[in-house]
Amino acid sequence: MRGALHLIHNENSTASIYYLVSLRVNFASGAADITAGTTSFKTTTTVYGRQTNHIYQVTTYYGTIQYLGNHKAQVTFIPGAAYIVDLITGVATPA
């Protein structure tokens, strides 16, 4: 068919591993708050093309999360940027 529009539909798959270390959680003041501890993580996203098992793109992120209390955490990507994240609102600002 001449001039036909062919849409490409990709499928995504995400796998994550988290290692939680020495988390301290305060349940006393309403919403639970992680006041101390760290997490290391690896997250891999694979984008598959139209064809079965055709890998189009793979992206992997490594990093750490340091819990600061007051519903805040510092997320650091290795190598790369660090952000302070409000765990209630999801707002992230450069650290």
For the segment 15-47, what is each residue's pLDDT rounded down to a tens digit? 999 999 999 999 997 889 999 999 999 999 988
Residue range 44-51: average pLDDT?
82
CB 31 within 8 A of CB 88: yes
Of 52 and 6, which is predicted with more confidence?
Answer: 52
Distance CA 26, CA 29 (A): 7
**Selection from 15, 29, 21, 4 nearest residue 59 by Cα:** 15
